Structure 1
Amino acid sequence: MTVTLTQSSPALRSDARDNRERILAAARELFAEDGLDVPMREVARRAGVGPATLYRRFPTKEALVTEAFAEQNQLCTRILDRAAADPDPWRGLCSLIEEMFAFHARDRGFTAAFHAAYPQAVDRESILEHGHRAISGIAVRAKAAGTLRPDFTVDDFLVVLRANSGLRPAESRRFAELAIRGFRAAPA
């Protein structure tokens, strides 16, 4: 069962709505900086609210993770869609690799949530299915154009994406360059 929270209700008082937004902003920052091991009390402290306020809005850490990363789920989808829509499939694949690697290097919390920590906190199946379709489509077009290695598979992309996990942004950029070179078709 995927936990889904709706946007703040119109009946929510303005101070309660402000607290909720501060909690989400603090959670996103802390999860991005330190991963998902951040204690709930630290999220409350950074947001400037008491633990009771935090737990009233988000009774579990999974509920907080789910809401905090709804925006990141949408970002993943937008990155995939932009890459798939690029009329040049090689450029689309390169931008996909660069943007996804940068996103994962910058936001460790989402990577951890996506891969394992809270499997219900992200719509992993939907993202994977959408990603598989988008990457497969790009790959078919890039192979036909002769720019992508003929033995490339979606699993190859997923392997390098997982290998990028935990890298700092500068290391991630370099790794993206190496992955792109490795995926490029050899000149005839």
Structure 2
Amino acid sequence: MTPGPKPHEAQSLRSDAERNRGRILAAARTVFERDGLGASMASVAREAGVGIATLFRHFGAKEDLIAAVFADRMDAYVTAVGEALDTPDPWAGFTGFIEAICAMQATDRGFADVLTTTFPAAEGLEERRAAASQGFLELVDRAKDSGQLREDFASQDLVLLLVANAGVVAFAGDTVPDAWRRLVALVIQSFQAPARGPLPAAPADDALYEAMLRAGAASIASRERGSIT
């Protein structure tokens, strides 16, 4: 029987593995922030200076890597809801939350994508998303009860804003880095009561969820197969 590694060798292997995992996470943050979730696993491996096989030993699927990279950002997303709910003025809490998360999108293209996609297998990430969504519904109710948010505002309108903001962030890049601020200001003004006019019906929840699923699947599949070899 082949003897196993000696204790000091085993410790060295664990240390190497931990270092590689840290390098992969740091590289993924850089790549996803710069290129969005469509960046390939091969590009992350190159940035980390490891082989693609090493990357997949640590993260068996791209979804696993995305969940690990953005766990802290999703925690910040939930925290932002809590801080908004603690704001005494309902309108200030509502608008402050929208501005905060759109700013988070603007500083991280990958997170801009995360907020407009869904990854059912990444349970921790989706639990945070659900917690933030529940808090946002409370913000909406408070703002409507105060008479400051138009009555026909729907929670789906936030998803549409985040999709639009992600598009502006990707389009403007470093050339016009603050373009998103004008978009968000214009949209927030349109949310305020009294309403200036009627709106078309909001998209159905299940249809929006299907669109987010499709976007997530596209991000996972994007450029992967041709990049691994």
Question: Shorter-chain TM-score category?
Answer: 0.7 to 0.9
Superposition pairs for residues 47-86 of structure 1, below 5 Å? Answer: 47-86=48-87
Q: How far does residue 135 in structure 1 lie from its aligned partner after superposition?
A: 2.0
Counterpart for residue 187 of structure 2:
179
> Which has the larger displacement, 173-182 or 108-117?
108-117
Q: Secondary structure at the match of 1:177?
A: helix
Alpha-carbon contact 1:70-1:122 (below 8 Å) kept? no
- CA distance in 1 between counterparts of 2:47 and 2:118 reads 22
> Which has the larger displacement, 30-39 or 110-119?
110-119
What amino acid is aligned across from residue 50 of structure 1 in structure 2? G
Structure 1 unmatched ranges of 5 or more = 1-9
Q: How far does residue 39 in structure 1 lie from its aligned partner after superposition?
A: 2.2
Give the root-mean-square deviation of aligned CA atoms. Answer: 2.6
Alpha-carbon contact 1:30-1:43 (below 8 Å) kept? yes
Q: How far does residue 13 in structure 1 lie from its aligned partner after superposition?
A: 2.6
> Which has the larger displacement, 114-123 or 101-110?
114-123
- CA distance in 1 between counterparts of 2:144 and 2:12 reads 54
Q: How far does residue 118 in structure 1 lie from its aligned partner after superposition?
A: 4.2
Alpha-carbon contact 1:81-1:134 (below 8 Å) kept? yes
Q: Secondary structure at the match of 1:167?
A: helix
Counterpart for residue 5 of structure 1:
none
Alpha-carbon contact 2:35-2:109 (below 8 Å) kept? yes
- CA distance in 2 between counterparts of 1:128 and 1:45 reads 30
Q: Secondary structure at the match of 2:105?
A: helix
Q: How far does residue 170 in structure 1 lie from its aligned partner after superposition?
A: 1.4
Structure 2 unmatched ranges of 5 or more = 1-10, 170-176, 196-229
Q: TM-score, normalised by structure 2?
A: 0.67
Tell me, yes or no, if structure 1 residue 107 matches structure 2 residue 118.
Answer: no
Counterpart for residue 24 of structure 1:
25
> Which has the larger displacement, 24-33 or 164-173?
164-173
Number of positions where the alignment pairs a residue of Structure 1 with one of Structure 2: 178
What amino acid is aligned across from residue 15 of structure 2 in structure 1? S
What amino acid is aligned across from residue 173 of structure 1 in structure 2? R
